[in-house]
Amino acid sequence: MSVIAARDIGIAFGGVVAVDGVSFSAAAGEVLSIIGPNGAGKTTLFNVVSGLYRAGRGRVTLDGEDVTGRPPEILALKGLSRTFQNLQLFTRMTTCENVMVGRHLRERRSLAADLLRLPSVRRQNRETRAAAQDLLTFVRLGERGDMPASALPYGALRRLEIARALASEPKALLLDEPAAGCNAVETEEIQRLIRAVADRGVAVVLVEHDMRLVMKVSDRVLVLESGRPLAEGSPEEVRENPAVISAYLGPQAGRGSAHA
Amino acid sequence: MPVLSPRAATLAGLALVIALLPLVFPSGFYFRVAALVWISALAAIGLNILMGLAGQVSLGHAGFFGIGAYAVALAPAHLSLPPWAALILGAGLAGVLAFLVGKPVLRLRGHYLAIATLGLGVLVQIVLTNESRWTGGPDGMRVARLALFGWRGAGAETWYWVSGGALMIGTWLALNLLDTPTGRALRALHDSEVAARVTGIDVARYKLTAFVVAAVYASVAGSLLALMNGFITPDQAGFLHSVELVTMVVIGGLGSVLGAIVGAAVLVTLPQLLTVFQEYEHLLLGLLIMVFMIFLRDGIVPSLRTAALGLLPARTAG
């Protein structure tokens, strides 16, 4: 059964249809990639699924439960996590603290206990710090926990955001262009990481422009064009689909390739 | 590995300063000035939780200060409550008002939030000014002296120790908060609300928490000032006082507990020092604030800390 599923999602902004009738689902341990040219509606789709935008139509289910229209903090509670194309890190905090914030939902939270810094708060802090440190090691940032997040290089920031997203122990993870702006070495690191996350049993939905990364890491690929689904299948099937080639390289190339 | 954590160092340093400062006071007058610093610092520390940690502006914070001040003036006179109970009642009222007003108002951001909180402060001041039957109107009213277990707080020296003790408690609580789930949630939503939300942080609730905590701090500070002065006017709740509190937090350094204390010390003592310049006093005060902001843009404490640490990696500190 799929952990996360979106059915027939549609959203328009002042008459401009951004997403129109898109469905997808991902099972535990599966990597589903959503690709498409710029403006295909990929990030908009993520913003709908993660509760930042309210969809005009369609339903989102998480672990079988209908969560359509729920705010992001509720979705997080129910096991959804995500990263952002334009990195949304807590730049005034250290690397480790960023991941510790990700543990928020796993912590007991009481203003009075926090103000008094009760022994239980201190004990929990140690547990949270240890869990965050484990995740930093997992994304190969184990040595940089005390650095301000703002001092990390770009590829490390991408990995840090993934570590923070994993800290809430999500069932489904939406990754919005995790390799954007990364060099070849950093991209390879991201690829290894995505696979390792899926192997932990997380349902991963990936939006990405780097086709080599998508082809290597995905179990299934969904192609969007102008907000509508164009094709879906295994990486090989999608790569050979004439409609996909046409959308990416123009109709001429599409015809040429179809004849080949 | 430092011997003391930054948190413990801040607390120990503050305790030392409060304990030893009277040794260098040339006259009793200085006890009063220092007590004023401690009381203002208490309000500034609270406001720093809202502005420095959570990144939300309040331009009406003196309104809560005024509620605390008038609570210790009115409740003993009309409800026959002892002043310490009136202080707690005022803090409770300020907290409830902050909760009720904060719920709709904290949905606003930036300039809009600033104007809405400004309106709240103005409203409190108008009520205090116009309900003259209760509050004595613009001329203010007398406040009964604090009596605890038969002991009566009167002299400036007594108030120096009472307000110093209150400041220690306020500082301890605020420092405690920094590295806890609540403190981290507030700092996180300051940096990125959208990331905080998808992480599961109830942003609206945490902003409200910070607003209520800041209001309670201000109210307690207001009560202490009213009890020390034995007299109170609506100006304590006024816009200028709100701006003064914001200036303390910003000059000292947003997000720094120690900064809020230093900012309060600067803003309370500078006018006293500048009185020697007579009619140029206000001009010089304004100029000095501008100079501070130009050369120590992150605030006095964070700027000096960065300079002292050079290129060492920053740590979260008081």
Mean pLDDT within B9-30:
93
CATH of domain A2-91+168-259: 3.40.50.300
Among A105, A125, A147, select the one facing B200 at the smallest CB separation: A105
Residues in chain B with CB shorter than 8 Å from the CB of A91 are: 191
| Residues 6 or more apart in contact with residue B3 via CB below 8 angstroms | none
The better pLDDT of the pair A58, B312 is held by A58
Mean pLDDT within A41-49:
94
If DSSP states are collapsed to H, E and C, what string results for chain A?
A: CEEEEEEEEEEEECCEEEEEEEEEEEECCCEEEEECCCCCCHHHHHHHHCCCCCCCEEEEEECCEECCCCCHHHHHHCCEEECCCCCCCCCCCEHHHHHHHHCHHHCCCCHHHHHHCCHHHHHHHHHHHHHHHHHHHHCCCHHHCCCEHHHCCHHHHHHHHHHHHHHCCCCEEEEECCCCCCCHHHHHHHHHHHHHHHHCCCEEEEECCCHHHHHHHCCEEEEEECCEEEEEECHHHHHHCHHHHHHHHCHHHHHHHHHC
**CB distance B180–A93 less than 8 Å?**
no
Beta pairing, strands B141-142 & B231-232: antiparallel
Q: Best residue in A94, A114, A147 to probe B by mutation, most B CBs within 10 Å?
A: A114
Task: Tell me: pLDDT of B129 over 90.
Answer: yes
Residue B208: what pLDDT?
96
- pLDDT class of A253 with cuts at 50, 70, 90: low
- Per-residue pLDDT of A106-165, as tens digits, reads 999 999 999 999 999 999 999 999 999 999 999 999 999 999 999 999 999 999 999 999
Residue A83: what pLDDT?
97
The better pLDDT of the pair B55, B145 is held by B55
Nearest residue in chain A measured CA to CA from B209 = A111
CA–CA distances in Å: residue B279 to residues B243, B273, B284: 22, 13, 10
Task: Tell me: pLDDT of B151 over 70.
Answer: no
Mean pLDDT within A189-197:
96
Residue B28: what pLDDT?
84
Task: Tell me: pLDDT of B290 over 50.
Answer: yes
Instruction: Give the lowest-confidence range in A1-5, A47-51, B291-295.
Output: B291-295
| Helix or strand holding residue B268 (H, E) | helix B257-274
Mean pLDDT within B40-67:
97
Residues in chain B with CB shorter than 8 Å from the CB of A82 are: 198
% pLDDT > 90, chain B? 69
Task: Tell me: pLDDT of A92 over 90.
Answer: yes
Write down the pTM of the prediction: 0.91
- pLDDT class of A251 with cuts at 50, 70, 90: low
Q: Quick check: A125 contacting B, CB < 8 Å? A: yes
Task: Tell me: pLDDT of B190 over 70.
Answer: yes
Residue A252: what pLDDT?
59
The better pLDDT of the pair B3, B127 is held by B127
The better pLDDT of the pair A76, A38 is held by A76
Task: Tell me: pLDDT of A257 over 60.
Answer: no
Q: Quick check: A151 contacting B, CB < 8 Å? A: yes
Mean pLDDT within B197-212:
96
Mean pLDDT within B262-291:
88
- pLDDT class of B156 with cuts at 50, 70, 90: confident
Which of A143, A138, A192, A202 is closest to A2 using CA atoms?
A202
Residue A260: what pLDDT?
36
Task: Tell me: pLDDT of B286 over 90.
Answer: no
Using a CB–CB cut-off of 8 Å, the residues of B that contact A are: 173, 176-177, 179-185, 187-188, 190-192, 194-203, 209, 213, 255, 313-316
The better pLDDT of the pair A206, B107 is held by A206
Mean pLDDT within B223-242:
93
Mean pLDDT within B247-265:
95
